[in-house]
A = this chain, B = another copy of it.
């Protein structure tokens, strides 16, 4: 089994030197968030993640959540861990103080979230979904709904779920069929089946607050006829007391490749006369409300990609240090060495390490911009930050999760044959990671959002601004003659050119031939992710160099930052021109066959 400890040093570096923690803590409303407080929170979170959640990760995977007669039992230790989690106030850190939360900046809660997800992704899904449901009620709920549900949810006494998917309505929510019938008392009765409901049923809390997409009787077809309802597992009276079991039942849970400890439920609404719910917000605007929360949810899933990459890296590194096998390359008959001495193992570890650092830097920068978008005093800056966030969300979701699977697979490879044995634990990260590029919108959905809504729609304005920021870093690199910086600059320069070439193609093609543009969407998302990550690592290398020149301690850490950026330039950024080539030239081959020719 592997231990986990939060990469506090890298988190702090990224927060301070790349994401502008100082600026974030100066934003209106963040005045109480001092650097010392941030450090204290991260240290406490690390203790909880490493001490309570991480030890349950493997046992949770082995035992899994279990269904019996409509009830779901979580894995041993889960209930106690959840109780501690809630009692320690972790459910509330990012929530609005008005409803009992601590209102920490997203930059800080993001680092904390990374820890939960590294330590135990299956566990982390429960508070993550609850946060999403809280957000939905906060934004769109009535005062009565807020009063009834929010205090309990923020305190972690009740959890929340999101009920979107149905068997015929996965990526295409326009096909949702669950229906809601208005009742004389202003409530609704819901009828239908929802699938893939994460923590849709469990034994961690007394009640579960389901947010459910459904259609009203007179609703128009398609996406504009979907409304949002809140449907508690147990009905709640005006005094906040739990009443009868609502007509919603968990009819089964899925047998999945990974996240075994997270129950993925099939929920039946209305088999016994209708599940009682109330409308959230206005009729037929349910999907719109979902879209408001989408950035948040997609960012969180992207963080799963980062978190699992970090965990897989720590796991592989520990093994590479301990496992003795073979002699050093080129040394015949020499002593046996730890496999970390072998060049290809180093290559694999550097690949895991540098990409994880690149992903963390990009994600935290996006988190900080989200804080600015919400709280900055200057409206223009808020708008500017929001545009950046909107552009980068599909990249954070798509690129980080695709990477995580590759990185977890590299972690298995570092273990050799032991990686294939479940007891080792390396394979679990791989299995857990595989869902992240699927749920909350597949990579293709992210990529089409990216090239369509985020690039074509504004004629390339947002991406153009980012490319200019990247260009400024390239210029800054250009004055440094040291070899690693020359390599980093060369790679960033060719990465920027690749992005520009691909963007020009997308802008020229999207309206004229959406299919051709769409073939390049996923390769483009990957390209932009790679180059954005390289941009952040280049910034990290520059910051590290400044710290080194100023003689500000920890030279080993800062030198390693420069090496990471250099490795990434030569091994990862090197893929950028090829991806641009595919974006620009790849449509014909992909679209030419008749369906029958496959």
Is A350 an interface residue when CB atoms closer than 8 A count as contact? yes
- Whether A85 is near chain B, meaning CB under 8 Å from some CB there, is no
CB-CB contacts below 8 Å: A347-370 with B: 347, 349-350, 353-354
B165 touching A585, Cβ below 8 Å: no
Using known A-B contacts A412-B434, A438-B420, A576-B578, determine if residue A514 contacts B330 with beta carbons closer than 8 Å: yes
Interface mask (A320-353 → B, CB under 8 Å = 1, otherwise 0): 0100111001100100101011111111011001
Query: In the complex, what distance in Å separates the CA atom of A518 from the CA atom of B409?
Result: 20
In the bound assembly, the distance between CA atoms of A171 and B255 in angstroms comes to 35
Q: How far is the CA of A171 from the CA of B254 in the complex (A)?
A: 38
Q: How far is the CB of A226 from chain B (nearest CB, A)?
A: 15
Query: Judging by beta carbons under 8 Å apart, are A598 and B340 in contact?
Result: yes
Q: CB distance A343 to B518 under 8 Å?
A: yes
- Given known A257-B420, A420-B257, contact A581–B588 (CB-CB < 8 A): no
Taking a contact as CB atoms under 8 Å apart, the answer to whether A438 and B423 are in contact is: no
| Known A-B contacts A330-B515, A434-B427; A344 and B448 likewise in contact (beta carbons under 8 Å) | yes
Alpha-carbon distance between A515 and B596 when the two chains are bound, in angstroms: 49
Across-interface contacts of A576 in B (CB, < 8 A): 578
Among B343, B405, B438, B571, which residue has its beta carbon within 8 angstroms of that of A419? Answer: B438
Please judge, given known A-B contacts A405-B409, A422-B257, A447-B344, whether A417 and B430 are in contact too, CB under 8 Å. Answer: no
Q: With A577-B578, A591-B346, A597-B560 in contact, do A442 and B416 touch (Cβ < 8 Å)?
A: yes
* B483 & A518 in contact (Cβ 8 Å cutoff): no
> Which residues of chain B have C-beta atoms less than 8 A from A416's C-beta?
170-171, 438, 442
CA distance A409 to B171 in the complex (A): 19
* Residue numbers in B under 8 Å from A168 (CB-CB): 324-325
For residue A560, which residues in chain B have a CB less than 8 angstroms away from its CB? 593, 597
Stretch binding the partner chain, chosen from A98-106, A456-464, A561-569: A561-569
Using CB atoms, name the residue of chain B closest to A416.
Answer: B170
Q: Chain A's interface: helix, strand, loop or mixed, by majority?
A: helix
Residue ID in chain B nearest A424 by CB atoms: B257
Residue contact B590 to A343, C-beta cutoff 8 Å: yes
Asked if A192 is at the interface (CB within 8 A of a chain B CB), the reply is no
In the complex, whether A444 has a CB less than 8 A from a CB of chain B is yes
Q: How far is the CA of A591 from the CA of B348 in the complex (A)?
A: 11
Report how far A222 CA is from B521 CA in the complex, Å: 53
Chain B residues whose C-beta falls within 8 Å of the C-beta of A423 in the assembled complex: 255
* CB-contact partner of A515 in B329, B591, B594, under 8 A: B329
- Distance of A317 Cα from B592 Cα, bound (Å): 16
Q: Are B427 and A439 in contact (CB under 8 A)?
A: no
**In this complex, what residue of B is CB-closest to A483?**
B588
Cα separation A581 to B576 with both chains bound (whole Å): 11
A-B contact list, 12 entries, CB within 8 Å: A255-B423, A256-B420, A258-B420, A340-B598, A341-B595, A343-B590, A413-B438, A417-B438, A560-B593, A570-B585, A570-B588, A574-B582
A-B interface, 9 closest residue pairs, ranked by CB to CB distance from nearest:
A567-B589, A344-B444, A343-B518, A330-B514, A566-B589, A172-B326, A257-B427, A574-B578, A574-B581
